[in-house]
A and B are shown apart, each in its own frame.
Chain A
Amino acid sequence: MKDEQLLVALRRAIRARESVPADFVTAAKNAFAWHNIDAELAQLTYDSTRDLDPVPSTRAETASIRALTFTSAHLTIELEVTPDSLIGQVVPGEASTIKVQPKAGAETAVTTDQIGLFAIEPIPSGSFRLHCRTDSGVEVLTGWISL
């Protein structure tokens, strides 16, 4: 490569790295913590904000702003956003510990009841993910959530 080409290539290489947001890189580095966690990844399989179903919902439940479902091979986590809390259920229902892992900030934890129901208050601001561990030992990690 000639000097001028090399300089152009170097400029492009530095720009390519600079165009990647710092928090994307940080999250990637933090992912290494999973190498000793036996958690399955639960993927977003339903998001009501993406569901443009023209038929009005006939569900009588109150004031759900948004509903999300995360599915892994062994466990489903259903979430509903209400005005002041995030309520959810682990399916199949089982007593579990739910950790809220914000992208920035400290982790918090809630426990579910015997059928897997839980509530997180207040609603986490910013991106977070949920790590669920059932009493029988199944571990699942959701994708990033922003509400």
Chain B
Amino acid sequence: MRDDPSVIALVHRVCGGDQGAWNELIERYAPLVWSICVRYQLERQDIDDVGQSVWLLLVENIADLREPAALPGWLATTTKHECLRVVRAARRHDRHGLPPEEQMPPDLSATVIEQEIIDAELNAALRAAFAELPASCHELLSLLIGDPAPGYAEISEKLGMPVGSIGPTRARCLDRLRRSPHLSAVLYNQPGSVKLKETRR
């Protein structure tokens, strides 16, 4: 089930006119809207156009969302529709003699959109959980996810932490991350979860 209590609380606060809650909602879901636009291969100007439409529609409709927890799905569907509108507007004015099938906007399958929603929710939960870790864990994990990830010797030097304690600290920090309430709400929505397939049809 998609019943992340923090999303429900955010939606209620947004409905009450809380700009801070709106900002949190945007931090959470702007990547979802962005990534769907990127999948439609839109140019930046068109992505801004889609974004503006989606957020305005959200402002207008958020109070009417029957289930606040359905917000990610609503956003994904709305973004998809807006992307198709932009693509069609561009094609309509393109009078090169393309065969009809190439004039059709590329559509994304329901599976692709569903995967984007699942990824976006997991990512948002991970970021929220990560943001709440103690500073020491935050620092260590930030280094470990670097590209390229530094070796333990370098980490030891940067953080002033004995090499021998990096491994155990890493395990402890990841465990804290894993046990975050943000994550427990979404972890069983991951691929392989039959329950999800049933509830999202």
Q: Taking beta carbons and an 8 Å cutoff, which residues of A are in contact with B? A: 1, 3, 6-7, 9-14, 16-17, 19-20, 24-25, 27-29, 31-32, 34-36, 41, 43-47, 50-54, 127, 129, 141, 143-144, 146
Contact = CB atoms under 8 A, between A and B. Distances in A.
Nearest to A35: B59
A54 B97 CA distance: 12
Interface stretch (B4-12, B41-49, B65-73, B158-166): B41-49
Nearest to B26: A28
B173 to A, nearest CB: 10
Contacts of B59: 31-32, 34-35
Interface string B162-188: 000000001100100110000000010
B201 interface: no
A81 to B, nearest CB: 15
Contacts of A16: 31, 35, 119-120, 123
Nearest to A48: B93
B17 interface: yes
A56 B45 CA distance: 27
Contacts of A43: 49, 53, 85
A40 to B, nearest CB: 9
Contacts of B145: 7, 10-11, 14
B126 A46 contact: no
A3 B145 CA distance: 12
Contacts, number: 120
A32 B19 contact: yes
In the A-B complex, the 5 residue pairs with the smallest Cβ-Cβ separation, listed nearest first, are A31-B55, A13-B123, A13-B126, A50-B93, A11-B145
B174 A3 contact: yes
Interface string B101-122: 0000000000000000001101
Contacts of B147: 11
A134 B48 CA distance: 26
A24 B34 contact: yes
Interface residues of B, number: 49
Contacts of A12: 119, 123
Given A31-B52, A32-B19, A50 B94 contact: yes
B122 A13 contact: yes
Nearest to B142: A14
Given A28-B55, A31-B52, A14 B127 contact: yes
A44 B49 CA distance: 9
A54 B95 CA distance: 8
Contacts of B58: 31
A124 B12 CA distance: 38
Contacts of A10: 126, 130, 141, 145, 177
A23 B112 CA distance: 26
B127 A13 contact: yes
Given A12-B123, A27-B51, A146-B45, A1 B178 contact: yes
A28 B123 contact: no
A13 B130 contact: yes
